[in-house]
């Protein structure tokens, strides 16, 4: 086989990055087919999906490591780049674009600096990211060393070994990205009449359209680890998610609204380390079940974290009722692998609410770069660079 993968394979430049508790393959949009079907066929071939091990591709055989970021020139004047997130199913031939990923958004900021898309201003760089999944802007504050995204720092993230340089992400401008409204139904609580009974939910659309509900409503304590969430729990959670989607007039088989199970602070062992997370160190316990097929998240999605913080800031919501709020403006979420703080500022505005801040910190690191090879049979037309 020649160096470019010919004659049966096409070369595809890529970068592999970790962002927070996730990993993603980064591609440039002009390296992919323009039509959706062709693009998805190439992506599935690149990742080795569907296959539980993704052994014939770059996928990591897990919800958190089967992710893709597509980077394009900005399509709006207030952005530095366009970023499209894709969740690549491990076991089904599906590429989902319904959602954004907050962990990978941090990596987008670092990528933009490393690729010289955005120049540093001293030891910082501000990256204005247009997320095409939601049509909303988010801003990454990236620390810089010698013109590249900084790696070393003191920020520890539960679920990620060691520490790293903190990248700040603010999602204040993402309200209504999926539905047009922060509170899509206009209510802080809605009641879903389901086969499992009536369930009270709070639906919030910021960064990631999410539906929040009490763990007890689906027969959970709320502190369960990923391996303790049973098939019965899955069925009940799916019923709530589908009921919320119907209420919003959305397809029930999509990734949103993301179901979030919440409960009051209580101790539980970390899935990552086995050490007990103390109830006194958290303001809320939360669990996310997402993806296709749905699986329990082993940590906590960044986008859902700020949505959770905003939901907790609005009196009357399910999340507000379960939250302890030990420090003004900072909510610490207890997730399966540990804790995650978010910083939020929400104020009344007429009959609604204005989000003044919805931020968290993440670390990111470039892991690899080079050339991947995808079977030419996946392409309608081989890429020009292949």
Instruction: Report phi then psi at 158, rounded to 5.
Output: -60, 125
Residue 342 near residue 300 (C-beta atoms within 8 A): no
CA of residue 180 relative to chain centroid, distance: 19
Cα–Cα distance between 322 and 286 in angstroms, integer? Answer: 10
pTM of the full structure: 0.85
pLDDT for residue 6:
65
pLDDT in tens, the chain (386 residues): 344 556 899 999 999 999 999 999 999 999 999 999 999 999 999 999 999 999 999 999 999 999 999 999 999 999 999 999 999 999 999 999 988 999 999 999 999 999 999 999 899 999 999 999 999 999 999 999 999 999 999 999 998 999 999 999 999 999 999 999 999 999 999 999 999 999 999 999 999 999 999 999 999 999 999 999 999 999 999 999 999 999 999 999 999 999 999 999 999 999 999 999 999 999 999 999 987 778 999 999 999 999 999 999 999 999 999 999 999 999 999 999 999 999 999 999 998 999 999 999 999 999 999 999 999 999 876 666 64
Residue 100 near residue 303 (C-beta atoms within 8 A): yes
pLDDT for residue 322:
98
pLDDT for residue 245:
98
CA of residue 90 relative to chain centroid, distance: 16
Q: Which domains does the chain possess?
A: 9-166+365-378 (3.10.310.10), 190-349 (3.10.310.10)
pLDDT for residue 294:
85
**Tokens 């692998």, residue?**
337
- Identify whether 128 is preceded by a cis peptide bond (ω within 30 of 0): no
């Amino acid at each position: 086989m020649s160096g470019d993968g010919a004659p049966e394979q096409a070369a595809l430049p890529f970068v592999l990055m970790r962002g927070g508790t996730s990993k993603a393959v980064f591609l440039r949009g002009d390296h992919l087919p323009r039509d959706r079907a062709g693009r998805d066929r190439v992506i599935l071939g690149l990742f080795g999906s569907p296959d539980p091990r993704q052994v014939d591709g770059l996928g990591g055989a897990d919800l958190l490591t089967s992710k893709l970021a597509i980077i394009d020139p900005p399509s709006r004047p207030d952005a530095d780049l366009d970023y499209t997130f894709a969740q690549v199913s491990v076991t089904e031939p599906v590429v989902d674009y319904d959602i954004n990923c907050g962990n990978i958004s941090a990596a987008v900021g670092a990528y933009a600096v490393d690729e010289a898309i955005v120049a540093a201003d001293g030891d910082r760089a501000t990256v204005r990211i247009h997320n095409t999944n939601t049509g909303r802007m988010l801003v990454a504050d990236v620390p810089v060393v010698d013109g590249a995204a900084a790696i070393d720092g003191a920020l520890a993230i539960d679920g990620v070994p060691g520490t790293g340089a903190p990248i700040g992400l603010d999602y204040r401008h993402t309200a209504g990205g999926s539905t047009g409204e922060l509170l899509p139904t206009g209510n802080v609580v809605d009641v879903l009449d389901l086969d499992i009974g009536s369930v009270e939910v709070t639906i919030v659309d910021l960064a990631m359209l999410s539906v929040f509900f009490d763990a007890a409503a689906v027969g959970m304590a709320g502190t369960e680890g990923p391996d303790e969430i049973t098939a019965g729990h899955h069925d009940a959670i799916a019923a709530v998610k589908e009921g919320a989607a119907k209420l919003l007039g959305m397809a029930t088989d999509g990734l949103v609204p993301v179901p979030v199970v919440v409960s009051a602070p209580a101790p539980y062992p970390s899935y990552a380390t086995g050490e007990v997370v103390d109830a006194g160190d958290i303001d809320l316990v939360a669990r996310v079940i997402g993806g296709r097929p749905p699986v329990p998240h082993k940590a906590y999605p960044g986008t859902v974290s700020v949505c959770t913080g905003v939901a907790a800031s609005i009196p009357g919501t399910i999340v507000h009722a379960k939250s302890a709020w030990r420090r003004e403006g900072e909510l610490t979420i207890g997730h399966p692998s540990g804790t995650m703080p978010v910083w939020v500022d929400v104020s009344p505005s007429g009959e609604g609410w204005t989000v003044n801040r919805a931020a968290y910190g993440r670390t990111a690191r470039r892991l690899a770069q080079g050339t991947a090879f995808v079977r030419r049979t996946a392409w309608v037309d081989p890429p020009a660079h292949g």
